[in-house]
């Protein structure tokens, strides 16, 4: 099942992220997809802030993975846009069981490495400010989360 939420500005996208953060649990995996400028990093910043992370969140395009440990749960923020060969083992799967929350930007580029249970959020640009977020839960816990926030 898909859940569609329309966001008319960055604050509304942030509210969606904060609502999902309120349902967090260890080993949560959130997979973000969408064009450049669609709101993926806005979502991650709001999620991180709600989690209690004080650091400035930037997309880890050149590092691939940034770790934040100064919150209720660790946050593992990945941007896999620059991964050229998904067969290359850089230990991405190890993060899915490190008792934190993993958020992956451009997750569609590593579909073969994603865990079976996860929440996918597809960002679609409608106009300069409007976005449609399509939430696709894989697994009961993620279905429950979508039922609460959608």
Under DSSP, is residue 115 helix (H, G, I), strand (E, B) or coil?
coil
Can you give the pLDDT at residue 11? 98
**Residues 138, 149: Cα–Cα separation, whole Å:** 16
> Has residue 46 been placed in a domain?
yes
Can you give the pLDDT at residue 60? 64
**Residues 29, 117: Cα–Cα separation, whole Å:** 8
Can you give the pLDDT at residue 116? 97
Mean pLDDT by 10 residues, the chain (150 residues): 97 98 97 96 97 87 85 94 63 93 95 95 97 98 94
Q: State the residue range of the domain holding 47.
A: 3-82+92-149
Can you give the pLDDT at residue 88? 58
> Has residue 87 been placed in a domain?
no
Can you give the pLDDT at residue 49? 97
Structure tokens at 61: 């395009």
Can you give the pLDDT at residue 144? 97
Q: Is 108 exposed, middle or buried (0-12, 13-18, 19+ CB in 10 A)?
A: middle
Assess contact for 65 and 94: CB atoms under 8 A.
Answer: no
> Has residue 72 been placed in a domain?
yes
Nearest to 15 by CA among 51, 37, 43, 55: 43
Provide the number of structural domains found in the chain: 1
Can you give the pLDDT at residue 21? 97
**Residues 93, 85: Cα–Cα separation, whole Å:** 15
The CATH code of the domain that includes 143 is: 3.40.50.300
Evaluated on CA atoms 97, 93, 21, 4, the torsion sign reads negative
> Has residue 137 been placed in a domain?
yes
**Residues 147, 145: Cα–Cα separation, whole Å:** 5
Residue 4 forms beta bridges with which residues? 134
Q: pTM for the complete prediction?
A: 0.94
């Amino acid at each position: 099942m898909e859940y569609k939420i329309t966001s008319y500005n960055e604050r509304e996208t942030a509210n969606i992220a904060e609502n999902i953060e309120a349902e967090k649990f260890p080993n949560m995996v959130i997979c973000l997809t969408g064009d450049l400028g669609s709101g993926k990093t806005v979502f991650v910043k709001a999620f991180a802030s709600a989690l209690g992370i004080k650091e400035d969140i930037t997309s880890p395009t050149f590092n691939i993975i940034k770790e934040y440990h100064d919150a209720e749960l660790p946050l593992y923020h990945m941007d896999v846009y620059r991964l050229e060969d998904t067969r290359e083992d850089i230990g991405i799967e190890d993060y899915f069981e490190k008792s934190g929350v993993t958020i992956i930007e451009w997750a569609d580029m590593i579909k073969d490495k994603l865990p079976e249970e996860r929440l996918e959020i597809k960002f679609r640009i409608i106009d300069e400010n409007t976005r449609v977020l399509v939430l696709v839960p894989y697994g009961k816990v993620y279905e429950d989360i979508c039922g609460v926030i959608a």
